[in-house]
Each structure stands twice: as structure tokens, then as C-alpha cells.
């Protein structure tokens, strides 16, 4: 039985806490820590059977009985807590992104070298039933050689501008999932990025120095082309689709809905909207990613979504950012070189 500590009792920390307590047979959550631990959070911890509740995450790192930690705190603390947890010899599941600063990710990467620590990054969409099936179709050769990969990723509503300001920008905050998905779906690397951006949802997002709508085209290492389109607001809900087109055919996934009910009346034929947002849409994937993490610890096998899977989307995101500013395509290798990679 693996004892887990969760650092950060916000929305995603609670998701993982419940997942482990309910579904992950070989693991239990021994403790949860959050500097702003509320009575409600304490109550939540008790209700799911987590006995130890702290404000200071170091109590988790100091607990010898805890083998693994889930870092679910705010992004700016991910890398430093990662370093401390590595020192404490804990296996680590870190929410994405590890950091917006490549240097800090590289410090974590360095600290991991040769240490036998499992380090998994929380790109949960790889574990979603739809994306997994699409990826399997590509990987198994069902669509032949990949030619064009298209990802549509739109949120139901823009976050508050205060969030936008510290988010690192749309490419590091939102598109980062899609960059990971391009890598996952294609089995290839993104070599060059060209980004068009616009402020069409909320002018305040523009005032905050960010964009809310983007079309990002890419060249991949396997010769294929890719394109992502993002928007911070889709009136009909969370829109998450992918189409992979190849020499032998295409695989496409559509959104999940609450039910398959279709009503036909004098005004038309009406189906349900996509599930609202990531908690509704991706709940199963949160369970699956943490289960796999625990499984890797138990069987001492390498994690599939490791430190490099955390690093590369950040490099790509920075390339996209530069492309938006310069109005020219940017090679990922150019960004990598800036960091001696």
C-alpha cells in the first residue's frame, strides 16, 4: 500500500484525493496540506477518509511513511516544492505546468538525474477515453502516415483577468495541454510554430497583455503539419476535439455529452451541448493518470509522462509567444538553444 501526500487542497487536489481514496486500490492518501486550509477543506478531507490535515506541506515531506506526493499547489510553487520533494526522496506527481520558467524546470530535471524518483506531469488528457482511442488509431497505423493533425480546444468561459495576468499567457496556460496533445497524438516533435492571435472575447484580456483567441500552425519532425485553434470562450461549452488525417484515413473524436437524448420538434433536431468544463469532461482521466502513477511506483516502471513531457510544451509555448510578437515562425530548437539545450 503506497501512502500518498497531497500538497494543495484546491479544486484539483481534491479531485486527486477523492480519486485515490475511491478507486486506486494500491494507494491511500495519508495527509493533505494547504497553507490556506479552510474548515471546509478539512471537512472534505475527513469525509473521504484522509486523516492528517496540515497547513505546512513540509510535514508531508518529513513523513517517512509517505512514499509519494501530488503537487497540486499554485504553479509558481511547483518547481521549488518538486526540488524539496526530490530531496526528501518522494515520488512526485506534479500538476502542469511545472513552471513557466524553463530554467526552473531544468533544475528539477537535473535534480532527478539518476535518483530513482518517479516524476509524472499531470497531462490528464492523454488518459481520456476519446483522446486515447484516437491516439491508438494513429499509433497502430490505422490512418497510415500522419499528414495533418488538427486540435480544437476552447474553454466555456474566460477566467478572471486577474488570473490571466499571472497565467503566463494563453500559450503556457491553455495551449500547453494542446501542445502536449500534438506530441501525444503524433508521436513526433513540434519543430516550428507560427501563431496568430486575437482579442475577440474580452478587451481586458488584451489590456492585460494576452490574447484570447489563437490559431497556431506547426511543422512536426515526422514531416506532418499540425494546427491548434484556441478560444477562451465557447458559448456552447467546453469544446475539445481532435482530427488526425493520414495516408490511409482519418480518426476524429467529438465531445462527450450528458446524455444521448435528441429532441425533434417543429423548430429542428436538438441534441445536448458538450459537457461543461474539465472537471465534468475529464474526471475519468484524472483517475486514470493517478492510477498509472501509483502503478509505476508499485512495479518500479518508468512513468510515461515524465519531466521532458513537462519541459517540451513550455519550450513550444515560448516559441508560440515569440512568433506572436515577431510575426514570424519560430523554431522550437531556437528557444531550446537559449537554454543551452
Q: Using CB under 8 A, which residues numbered 194 to 213 contact a copy of itself?
A: 194, 196-198, 200-201, 213
Q: Report the residue number, 51 or 166, with the smaller CB distance to a copy of itself.
A: 51
How many Å separate Cα 176 from the centre of its chain?
7
Report the chain's C-alpha Rg in angstroms: 20
Near a copy of itself in 293-312, by CB under 8 A: none
| Binds a copy of itself by CB under 8 A, chosen from 39, 262, 299, 302 | 262
Using rule CB under 8 A, residue 320 touches a copy of itself: no
> Which has the closest alpha carbon to 95: 35, 25, 6?
6
Using rule CB under 8 A, residue 249 touches a copy of itself: yes
- DSSP state, residue 307: H
- Cell 484546491 found at: 10
Q: How far is the CB of 152 from a copy of itself (least distance, A)?
A: 8
HSE-CB for 332 with a 13 A CA cutoff: 19
> Which has the closest alpha carbon to 228: 215, 241, 219?
215
Using rule CB under 8 A, residue 329 touches a copy of itself: yes
The residue length of the chain stands at 341
The three three-digit cell numbers of residue 210, written as one number: 494576452
CA angle at residue 117 from 31 to 20, to 5 degrees? 35
260 vs 178: CA distance, rounded Å: 27
Using rule CB under 8 A, residue 190 touches a copy of itself: no
Q: Report the residue number, 86 or 335, with the smaller CB distance to a copy of itself.
A: 335
Q: How far is the CB of 246 from a copy of itself (least distance, A)?
A: 8
x-or-dash string of contact with a copy of itself, 150-179, rule CB under 8 A: x-x-x-------------------------
Alpha-carbon distances, residue 271 vs 23, 260, 334 (angstroms): 32, 7, 46
Using rule CB under 8 A, residue 259 touches a copy of itself: yes
- Cell 485515490 found at: 20
CB atoms within 10 A of CB 262: 9
Using rule CB under 8 A, residue 129 touches a copy of itself: yes
182 vs 332: CA distance, rounded Å: 14
Q: Report the residue number, 269 or 340, with the smaller CB distance to a copy of itself.
A: 269
Which residues lie below 8 Å from residue 109, measured CB to CB, with a gap of 6+?
307, 308, 311
Using rule CB under 8 A, residue 42 touches a copy of itself: no
72 vs 7: CA distance, rounded Å: 6
Q: Report the residue number, 85 or 164, with the smaller CB distance to a copy of itself.
A: 164
Q: How far is the CB of 59 from a copy of itself (least distance, A)?
A: 26
Using rule CB under 8 A, residue 22 touches a copy of itself: yes
| Binds a copy of itself by CB under 8 A, chosen from 24, 224, 288, 312 | 224
| Binds a copy of itself by CB under 8 A, chosen from 189, 272, 280, 298 | 272
| Binds a copy of itself by CB under 8 A, chosen from 71, 182, 231, 319 | 231
Using rule CB under 8 A, residue 51 touches a copy of itself: no
Using rule CB under 8 A, residue 147 touches a copy of itself: yes
Using rule CB under 8 A, residue 45 touches a copy of itself: no
Amino acid at each position: 500500500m503506497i501512502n500518498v501526500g497531497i500538497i494543495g487542497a484546491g479544486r484539483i487536489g481534491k479531485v486527486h484525493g477523492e480519486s485515490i481514496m475511491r478507486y486506486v486500490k494500491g494507494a491511500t492518501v495519508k495527509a493533505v496540506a494547504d497553507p490556506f486550509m479552510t474548515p471546509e477543506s478539512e471537512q472534505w478531507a475527513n469525509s473521504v477518509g484522509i486523516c492528517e490535515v496540515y497547513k505546512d506541506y513540509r510535514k508531508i515531506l518529513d513523513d517517512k511513511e509517505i512514499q509519494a506526493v501530488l503537487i497540486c499547489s499554485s504553479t509558481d510553487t511547483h518547481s521549488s516544492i518538486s526540488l524539496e520533494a526530490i530531496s526528501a526522496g518522494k515520488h512526485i506527481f506534479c500538476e502542469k505546468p511545472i513552471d513557466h520558467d524553463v530554467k526552473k524546470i531544468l533544475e528539477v530535471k537535473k535534480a532527478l538525474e539518476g535518483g530513482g524518483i518517479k516524476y509524472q506531469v499531470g497531462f490528464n488528457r492523454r488518459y481520456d477515453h476519446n483522446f486515447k482511442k484516437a491516439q491508438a488509431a494513429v499509433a497502430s497505423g490505422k490512418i497510415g502516415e500522419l499528414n495533418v493533425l488538427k486540435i480544437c480546444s476552447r474553454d466555456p468561459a474566460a477566467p478572471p483577468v486577474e488570473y490571466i495576468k499571472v497565467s503566463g499567457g494563453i500559450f503556457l496556460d491553455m495551449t500547453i495541454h494542446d501542445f502536449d496533445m500534438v506530441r501525444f497524438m503524433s508521436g513526433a516533435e513540434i519543430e516550428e510554430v507560427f501563431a496568430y492571435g486575437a482579442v475577440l472575447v474580452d478587451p481586458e484580456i488584451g489590456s492585460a497583455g494576452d490574447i484570447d483567441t489563437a490559431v497556431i500552425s506547426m511543422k512536426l519532425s515526422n514531416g506532418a503539419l499540425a494546427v491548434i485553434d484556441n478560444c477562451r470562450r465557447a458559448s456552447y461549452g467546453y469544446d475539445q476535439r481532435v482530427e488526425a488525417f493520414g495516408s490511409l484515413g482519418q480518426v476524429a473524436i467529438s465531445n462527450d455529452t450528458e446524455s444521448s437524448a435528441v429532441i425533434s420538434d417543429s423548430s429542428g433536431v436538438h441534441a445536448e451541448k458538450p459537457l461543461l468544463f474539465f472537471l465534468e469532461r475529464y474526471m475519468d482521466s484524472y483517475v486514470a493518470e493517478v492510477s498509472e502513477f501509483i502503478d509505476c511506483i508499485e512495479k518500479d516502471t518508468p512513468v510515461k509522462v515524465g519531466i521532458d513531457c513537462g519541459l517540451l510544451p513550455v519550450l513550444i509555448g515560448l516559441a508560440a509567444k515569440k512568433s506572436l510578437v515577431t510575426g514570424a515562425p519560430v523554431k522550437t530548437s531556437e528557444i531550446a538553444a537559449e537554454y543551452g539545450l
